[in-house]
Chain A
Amino acid sequence: MKTFDISSREHYRNKVFPSPFHAHQAALNENREWSRWYDYLSVPAYGCETLEYFAGRNTCGVFDLTPMVKHRIAGPDALPFLDRLVTRDVTKLAPGRVGYSAWCDDAGRVIDDGTIFHLREGEYRLCSQEHQIDWLSINARGFDVEISEVTHDIAALALQGPTSAAVLRRMGCSAVDALKPFGLAHMDFGGTELAISRTGYTGDLGYELWIDPDRAGTLWDRLFEAGELHGIRPMGSLALETLRIEAGFILAGRDFAPALQTVRQHNTRSPFELGLGWLVDFRKPLFNGRRALLEESRKGSRWALARLDIEDNKPAEHAYVYDTRQRKIGWVTSATWSPSAKKNVALATVRAPHGKPGEKMRVEIYYQRELAWHRKMAQAVVVEGPFWDPPRRRQTPPADF
C-alpha cells in the first residue's frame, strides 16, 4: 500500500514513513529495531545479521528497496538528456536493459552513481543513492523531457542469492531463464505489471522487483510462499552492507562525498578516482564533467580507490592506510570480514599513483576486545576486481539451486 503522499497538505508533519512492506517487515522483525533511510523506515537486521548475510550467499534474501531514490525520465529528449547527464554512452542502452553509471558536475566530480533502466523505448528510470531531482531539473533546461521523482510510486524488493532464480520460476516468472545480467523483463502479476531486473547490490545472482505499492503486500506473500523451500529470508541493511563490500561496490556518502553536498572540492572524487574510469566515454562530444575529466586523464588523478586484502580478521574500519615506508597515503572507507572470500577486506581511498593492484600497504587497525583497545599495523595488498565474484552471477539461464 502506498504510504507516502507528497500531495497531502499534512505530509510535512511526518518525516519518516512506513514502507509499503511495513506490515510484513514488522511481523518478521524479531529485533524490533528500525533505522531511517531517507523518507522510510528500514530494517537493520530482522534477527541475526549473519544468517541474513548467508541467505544472500547460500539461499536468497529479500531486501526492501522502496526507499531508494527513483526518477522517471521520458519525453522526446530523454535519451540526449541522459547522455549529457552521465559519463557513459546511454545510446547503447537498449530498451529492456539496465546500465550502471556515475554522473558528475562540470568539474568532473562525482555527484552520485546509480542505475538507468531503459523501461521501454524513450522511457527511463534513474535510481540513485541521493535525491537528484534538483540536479535533474537543472539539467533538463534546453531538453524536451519530463522528469519526476517516483520513489513513492514504486515499491521495490531486492531478491538476492543463488536460489533467487528458482524462487521466481516457482512464482511463475518464465522470463527468468532468458534474462541476462542487467536485463529487464515485465510480467503480469494479477493484473498489475511486475518489473523484474537482473540487478542488485550484492555481486551475486539476484533480481530486483518493481511494483505498484498497492500490490506490495501481495508480492511479498507470493515471494515467501514460492521461496519457502528455497531458504528465502528477509534481509536487513547490515547484511546488505557486507554483501556489497564483498562485491567491491562503492556507496555514495561512504566511499566518496557526493559533489553537490560537499563544500570543499578537494574532498570530492572523480570517476577515475573511484575506479569508475571504465564508465567514462570520451567518444561522446559532451557530458557533464567531460572537459575536466579529459584534463584529468591527461594530467593524472590525485586519488585512487584501492580494494584491500588485509591480513588477520579485524575489520579495518576507519583505518589510516600507509605505504611500506610508513607514509600516510589514505584511509579506509568501507571494511568488513568477508565470510565468503574468507578474507579481511576493505575499500580505501589513497593518494595516486598508489593503489595499483599488487601494491603492498599497511593499515592501522584499532579494535576492541572486551572493551580494551588494541592497535595493529596490518599488512595489506591491493587486489583487482571484486573480492567475491561467483560464476553464477553471470550464468544464463541461471542454475536452479
Chain B
Amino acid sequence: MTEHAPRSAIVIGAGHNGLACAAYLAKAGLSVTVLEASDRVGGAAVTREFTPGYRVSAGAHLLHALDEGVRRDLALERYGLRMAAEDLYTIALDPGGQWLSIADGALGGPGALDADRVSMAKHHRQMSRFARILDGIGDRRPPRLGTQNWRDLLALGRLGLDIRRLGTEDMREFLRIAGINIFDVLEERFESALLKAALAIDGTLGAMLGPRSNNSVFIALHRCNQGRDWALPSGGMGTVSVALDGAARAAGARIRTKTRVAAIRMDFDRACGVTLEDGETLDADVIVSNADPKTTFERLLGARHLEAGFANRIHHLRTRGCVAKLHLALDGPPRFTGLDADQRGQRLLIAPDPETVEHAFNHAKYGEHSERPVMEISVPSVFDDTLAPPGHHVLSANVQWAPYDLKGGWSEAAKQGFTERCLDSLEACAPGLREQVLANELLTPVDLENEFGMSGGHWHHVELALDSFFMLRPVPGAARYSTPVPGLYLCGAGSHPGGGVSGRPGRNAARAVLADRGRQ
C-alpha cells in the first residue's frame, strides 16, 4: 500500500478530458504519462480527413461547453486554440423556406410566430436560471450521501440553497419540470411546431430518449448550462485537443500515442500500474482512466477485482449510443432554402415538428434506425477555409436515432440505407445537395465505439440522466472520480458533469487526485 502522496500518475486515454487531467496533474508536480491507443490525441474531440482534401470534426463538432477555467488555467490560446466563429445561433430549417432562428431567446426568420416571442424570452430566461444551478455544480466534486462530513453536507446544502434562491415561482417551476419530459413543457409554452421541434432536439440530442420521455427537460438543461454560445474552433475540434496536448506537454506530461493499455494491474488491493498490449508494464502511484466506466472496470480491470454489488452497477450502466455522425464533402456551398451565406454556417436543425422527433425515436426503441431522422448540422467550412479546398465545403451532422444495437447489425447496406434517409432530409431543405456530394462518411455508434473506444459509441460514455448525475454519476461509489479501487480514478465523460467538450471531468478528477493526497 502506498502511504506517501502520489508522485506519479498514468492517464489512460488522451481524450480531451484525459489531456486536461494530465495537464493539471503535471502542473501540480506529478510525473504524468498519458497512454493513447490511437495515433492521435483528442479522442472524440478530433479533426481528421474523411476523404482526401476534406477534414471535419469527426466526433463532437460544435464547441459550447469548454470550461472557462480550464481554458484560462491551461492557457489554451497559447497552444493554438482559436475560434473560426463564435456566437453561433440556431436555425430550424424548413423545406418551404419558413425557417426560424433562435438566438439568446430572441426569435427571428420568416417562420417565427409573434405568439411565441414573449414565451420564448421567458422560457430562455427561466431555463438559463435553472441551468445555472447545474452549471454551478459542474465544477464541483460531488458530495457523498449519508455521511456526516461537513464538506458533503455543505455541498448538498449549497445545492438546496441554489434551488431555494430561485424564488418561489421559479423554484416551483424548476421542481415541477426538472424530471419530466420536454414535449409537455413545450406544448404548454409555444405555438410553432418548428420551434417546438427545435427545442425538443435540445432535450434529446445524444440521449436514448424521445421528447416524450422523462429526463428530456434535464438533457435540455444540461445542454443549456454548457451552452454559452456555439463556437467553431479554427481547424476543427482537434484544435482544442492539440491545445490541451500542448498545455500538458509544457507542464511536463509525457504523451504516448499508439500505446494501447490492455489491463490495469493490481498490487494486493490497489491499482499500481498498467500492462500494455505489447506486454510492457508501467507503474504509477495513481491510475486515472479517461476510458468509459464499463471499459475501465470490465475490460481493463476485470469485474473480479471489484466487489460484486459495485460490479453489478457498472454492468447495468446504460451505454447504448444512438447518434450517428454524417460527413459530406461538397463541391459548393449547400443551398438551404432561404438562408444566406452567413446563415449556412450557423447551427442548423432539421425537424419539422415535435411529433416527428418522437416518431424518429420510436424506431430506436425497437432496434431500428429512424425513417425520418432529425439532424443537427454544421457547415464549418463557411467560416474555416482550412477544412476543404477553396470553394468546396464540408458538412457535418449529428443524426439520430441510429441505435448501437441495430437489428441485423450495421451492415454496409444498412449504413447506405440510413445515409439515403439522411440525404433525403437534407435534400428537402437544400435542393440540389445530392448533386453536390463528392464523398460521404457515416459513423454509426458502432463505428464511434471502434474509432474512439467508448462503450456503445455513447457520447456521454454513460447515458446522461437524473439517475446518473452528480453524486450518482456514473454510479454511487465512483461519483467522486475516486473509485472503490484505491489508486484508480475516472476522468472521462462517464463522470460528473458528463460529456461535451468541457474539460470539466478531467479537471475535477485531477483536483480529486490532488485533494486525496496524504489520505491514501
Q: Are A142 and B298 in contact (CB under 8 A)?
A: yes
* B309 in complex: contacting residue of A80, A81, A106, A287, CB < 8 Å: A106
Which residue in chain A gives the minimum CB-CB distance to B486?
Answer: A291
Tell me how far the C-beta of B519 lies from the nearest C-beta in chain A, rounded to whole angstroms: 13
Q: Are B268 and A106 in contact (CB under 8 A)?
A: no
Q: Are B309 and A105 in contact (CB under 8 A)?
A: yes
Given that A106-B307, A142-B302 are contacting pairs, would A285 and B312 also be in contact in the complex, using a CB cutoff of 8 Å? no
The yes or no answer to A141 lying at the interface (CB within 8 A) is yes
Q: Are B303 and A290 in contact (CB under 8 A)?
A: no
CB-contacts of A73-129 with B (<8 A): 77, 80-81, 84-85, 105-107
Given that A84-B304, A143-B304 are contacting pairs, would A285 and B269 also be in contact in the complex, using a CB cutoff of 8 Å? yes
Given that A80-B304, A141-B315, A142-B304 are contacting pairs, would A291 and B298 also be in contact in the complex, using a CB cutoff of 8 Å? no
Tell me how far the C-beta of A262 lies from the nearest C-beta in chain B, rounded to whole angstroms: 14
B398-435 vs A, Cβ < 8 Å mask (1 yes, 0 no): 00000000000000000000000000000000000000
Q: Are B269 and A138 in contact (CB under 8 A)?
A: no
The yes or no answer to B310 lying at the interface (CB within 8 A) is yes
CB-contacts of B275-303 with A (<8 A): 298, 302-303
Q: Are A291 and B312 in contact (CB under 8 A)?
A: no
* A289 in complex: contacting residue of B302, B305, B307, B311, CB < 8 Å: B307
Bound together, the chains give a CA A291 to CA B310 distance in angstroms of 12
| B contact residues around A142 at 8 Å (CB) | 298, 302-304, 311
Given that A142-B298, A285-B266, A285-B268 are contacting pairs, would A85 and B308 also be in contact in the complex, using a CB cutoff of 8 Å? yes
Q: Are A286 and B305 in contact (CB under 8 A)?
A: yes
The yes or no answer to A192 lying at the interface (CB within 8 A) is no
* B308 in complex: contacting residue of A80, A84, A285, CB < 8 Å: A84
A335-377 vs B, Cβ < 8 Å mask (1 yes, 0 no): 0000000000000000000000000000000000000000000
Q: Are A288 and B307 in contact (CB under 8 A)?
A: yes
The yes or no answer to A31 lying at the interface (CB within 8 A) is no
Tell me how far the C-beta of A25 lies from the nearest C-beta in chain B, rounded to whole angstroms: 38
| B contact residues around A297 at 8 Å (CB) | none
The yes or no answer to B484 lying at the interface (CB within 8 A) is yes
| B contact residues around A81 at 8 Å (CB) | 304
Bound together, the chains give a CA A138 to CA B304 distance in angstroms of 11
The yes or no answer to A313 lying at the interface (CB within 8 A) is no
CB-contacts of B449-484 with A (<8 A): 477, 484
Tell me how far the C-beta of A271 lies from the nearest C-beta in chain B, rounded to whole angstroms: 15
| A contact residues around B311 at 8 Å (CB) | 138, 141-142
Tell me how far the C-beta of A344 lies from the nearest C-beta in chain B, rounded to whole angstroms: 40
The yes or no answer to A35 lying at the interface (CB within 8 A) is no
Q: In the complex, which of the residues B298, B302, B304, B315 has the most CB atoms of chain A within 10 Å of its own CB atom?
A: B304
CB-contacts of A264-283 with B (<8 A): none
Bound together, the chains give a CA A51 to CA B315 distance in angstroms of 53
Bound together, the chains give a CA A76 to CA B312 distance in angstroms of 21
Q: Are A291 and B307 in contact (CB under 8 A)?
A: yes
| B contact residues around A80 at 8 Å (CB) | 304
Tell me how far the C-beta of B482 lies from the nearest C-beta in chain A, rounded to whole angstroms: 12
Which residue in chain A gives the minimum CB-CB distance to B303?
Answer: A142
Tell me how far the C-beta of A73 lies from the nearest C-beta in chain B, rounded to whole angstroms: 14
Please classify the interface of chain B as helix (H, G, I), strand (E, B), loop, or mixed, using the class held by over half of its residues.
helix
Tell me how far the C-beta of B317 lies from the nearest C-beta in chain A, rounded to whole angstroms: 13
Which residue in chain B gives the minimum CB-CB distance to A143?
Answer: B304
Q: Are A288 and B305 in contact (CB under 8 A)?
A: no
The yes or no answer to A139 lying at the interface (CB within 8 A) is yes
Q: In the complex, which of the residues A81, A138, A142, A289 has the most CB atoms of chain B within 10 Å of its own CB atom?
A: A142
Which residue in chain A gives the minimum CB-CB distance to B302?
Answer: A142
Which residue in chain B gives the minimum CB-CB distance to A107?
Answer: B309
Q: Are A290 and B308 in contact (CB under 8 A)?
A: no
Tell me how far the C-beta of B259 lies from the nearest C-beta in chain A, rounded to whole angstroms: 25
A285-325 vs B, Cβ < 8 Å mask (1 yes, 0 no): 11111110000000000000000000000000000000000
Bound together, the chains give a CA A291 to CA B308 distance in angstroms of 12
Q: Are B310 and A106 in contact (CB under 8 A)?
A: yes
Q: Are A286 and B307 in contact (CB under 8 A)?
A: yes
| A contact residues around B309 at 8 Å (CB) | 105-107, 138, 288
Bound together, the chains give a CA A286 to CA B306 distance in angstroms of 8
Tell me how far the C-beta of A289 lies from the nearest C-beta in chain B, rounded to whole angstroms: 7
* A291 in complex: contacting residue of B268, B302, B484, CB < 8 Å: B484
| B contact residues around A107 at 8 Å (CB) | 309
B5-36 vs A, Cβ < 8 Å mask (1 yes, 0 no): 00000000000000000000000000000000
Tell me how far the C-beta of A291 lies from the nearest C-beta in chain B, rounded to whole angstroms: 6
Bound together, the chains give a CA A384 to CA B398 distance in angstroms of 69
Bound together, the chains give a CA A300 to CA B266 distance in angstroms of 28
Bound together, the chains give a CA A84 to CA B310 distance in angstroms of 13
| A contact residues around B310 at 8 Å (CB) | 106
Bound together, the chains give a CA A291 to CA B312 distance in angstroms of 17
* B312 in complex: contacting residue of A77, A138, A143, A289, CB < 8 Å: A138
| B contact residues around A287 at 8 Å (CB) | 307
Tell me how far the C-beta of A259 lies from the nearest C-beta in chain B, rounded to whole angstroms: 10
Q: Are A139 and B308 in contact (CB under 8 A)?
A: yes
Bound together, the chains give a CA A285 to CA B265 distance in angstroms of 13
| A contact residues around B303 at 8 Å (CB) | 141-143
Bound together, the chains give a CA A13 to CA B456 distance in angstroms of 42
Q: Are B269 and A286 in contact (CB under 8 A)?
A: yes
| B contact residues around A138 at 8 Å (CB) | 308-309, 311-312
Bound together, the chains give a CA A85 to CA B298 distance in angstroms of 18
Which residue in chain B gives the minimum CB-CB distance to A291?
Answer: B484
| A contact residues around B308 at 8 Å (CB) | 84-85, 105-106, 135, 138-139, 141, 288
Which residue in chain A gives the minimum CB-CB distance to B484?
Answer: A291
Tell me how far the C-beta of A90 lies from the nearest C-beta in chain B, rounded to whole angstroms: 14
Bound together, the chains give a CA A289 to CA B308 distance in angstroms of 9
Bound together, the chains give a CA A106 to CA B266 distance in angstroms of 19
Q: In the complex, which of the residues A85, A285, A286, A287 has the most CB atoms of chain B within 10 Å of its own CB atom?
A: A286
Which residue in chain A gives the minimum CB-CB distance to B305?
Answer: A286
| B contact residues around A105 at 8 Å (CB) | 308-309
Bound together, the chains give a CA A84 to CA B307 distance in angstroms of 8
Tell me how far the C-beta of B316 lies from the nearest C-beta in chain A, rounded to whole angstroms: 10
| A contact residues around B269 at 8 Å (CB) | 285-286, 290
CB-contacts of B299-336 with A (<8 A): 302-312, 315
Tell me how far the C-beta of B273 lies from the nearest C-beta in chain A, rounded to whole angstroms: 15
| A contact residues around B305 at 8 Å (CB) | 286
Bound together, the chains give a CA A383 to CA B50 distance in angstroms of 78
Bound together, the chains give a CA A143 to CA B303 distance in angstroms of 8
Bound together, the chains give a CA A320 to CA B250 distance in angstroms of 68
Query: What are 21 contact pairs spanning A and B, CB under 8 A?
Result: A77-B304, A84-B304, A85-B308, A105-B308, A106-B307, A106-B308, A106-B309, A106-B310, A106-B484, A107-B309, A138-B308, A138-B309, A138-B312, A141-B303, A141-B311, A142-B298, A142-B302, A142-B303, A285-B269, A286-B307, A291-B307
Which 3 A-B residue pairings sit nearest by Cβ, starting from the closest?
A142-B303, A106-B309, A285-B269
* Additional pairs, 4, CB under 8 Å, beyond known A142-B311, A286-B269, A289-B307: A105-B309, A106-B484, A141-B311, A290-B307
